[in-house]
Amino acid sequence: MFELLLTGFILLAVAFAVYVAYFFLVIKNRRSIERFHSTLSTLQNSSSDPKPVTVIINTFNEAKVIDRKLTNTSQLNYPLDKLEILVIDDASVDGTADIAVNKIRELNLSGRVIRNPARIGLNRSLNIAMSAAKNNYVCITDSDVILEKDALIKAVSVLKGFKNAGGVTGKILPVYNGAGVAQSTESSYRTFYSSSMLGETAYHSAFPGNGPLIVFDKSLVPTTIPVDYGSTDGNIAMNVIKSGHRFVYVENAVVFEPVPEKLAQQRLQKVRRAKRLIQVVLHNKSVFLNGKYGEFGRVIFPLKFLMLILCPLLMTIGFGLFALGVAFSAN
């Protein structure tokens, strides 16, 4: 009985210690965060010519939103003559590709629609689009999100000027109708996640970032991501970091993303994303405590690995043993 209680307590204490270490080493790393904010402000306030960017928009049956997305892209605070728009359509059956073709023509945008003859999935589609991009700076964004007017110019200025940056990612603000448990839960999660990404960037690199807005330099970073596992943002972040560069979270490059209105839908979305992120972590376990990747390999990735892989297991077993110990004690 006592042994069960003690073992359960030790396992729970180890898991708790990992979360505490992450909180104080990363999220509360105030000095590094202040230095990062100062650097960011200097970069974004300096005037320079924007780089040519290829904006990749992935679609699958997005007829209801692709018109709005292309309009939003045309209204960004970025010179249109320096934007190439690539819509990669994964064999939609609702006319998404045709709407995109007409809208690109109507808005007089430089770009085209790439049509997959059969559905091949997001990662394969992005590999095709990234290889077709004419510009070294590539922006990946989702068709159902809206970029804040200055989001792209702020992201590109950091990618261009931040020391050793190979890729950047923006901040997600959730958009939903009404108010309830699902909405307050999502808002709290996004607040914590933003602090997490900011702290990791101040240390070295954010992981995994936010898929609805990623900009990277394909002259520095591999453009191919695995097609059979893992999240897009996680795979791109690891490509950037393993190429010897930093993946930077730009807090004021804002993207608005619609989120599920119900808790059940929200839970399914979080579980799906967590599974794909865990796949990326497991396939990159060689980064664990690897000094080749700087503070990311020595501090950030080991803590994330433990929090995603080990701690849930320790907590499950720990609570189970503790419950058994209490039950035996009661008997």
**Residues 146, 68: contact at Cβ < 8 Å?**
yes
**Domain segments of the chain as ranges:** 12-47+147-325, 50-144
pTM, whole model, 2 decimals?
Answer: 0.93
Min mean pLDDT across 163-167, 241-245, 327-331 is at 327-331
Report d(CA 117, CA 122) in Å as an integer: 14
Q: Is the pLDDT score of 183 beyond 80?
A: no
Q: What are phi and psi of 208, to 5 degrees?
A: -95, 0
Task: Please enumerate in sequence order all residues whose Cβ is within 8 A of that of 318, keeping only pairs 6 or more positions apart, or say none.
Answer: 7, 8, 9, 10, 11, 12, 15
pLDDT of res. 210: 94
* Per-residue pLDDT band at 283 (split at 50, 70, 90): very high
Q: Give the mean model confidence (pLDDT) for residues 99-122.
A: 96
pLDDT of res. 264: 72
Q: Give the mean model confidence (pLDDT) for residues 184-193.
A: 84
Tokens of 17: 């210690």
Tokens of 159: 């990618």
Taking the CA atoms of 210, 211, 214 and 217 in sequence, report the sign of the dihedral they define. Answer: positive
Tokens of 170: 């923006």
Cβ atoms < 10 Å from Cβ of 241: 26
In terms of pLDDT, which residue wins out, 273 or 240?
A: 240
- What Cα–Cα distance (Å) separates residue 294 from each residue in 38, 237, 242, 288, 291? 22, 15, 10, 11, 5
Our measurement of the distance from residue 135's CA atom to the centroid of its chain's CA atoms, rounded to an integer in Å, reads 22
**Residues 169, 250: contact at Cβ < 8 Å?**
yes
**Residues 140, 232: contact at Cβ < 8 Å?**
yes
Q: Does domain 50-144 have CATH number 3.40.50.1000?
A: no
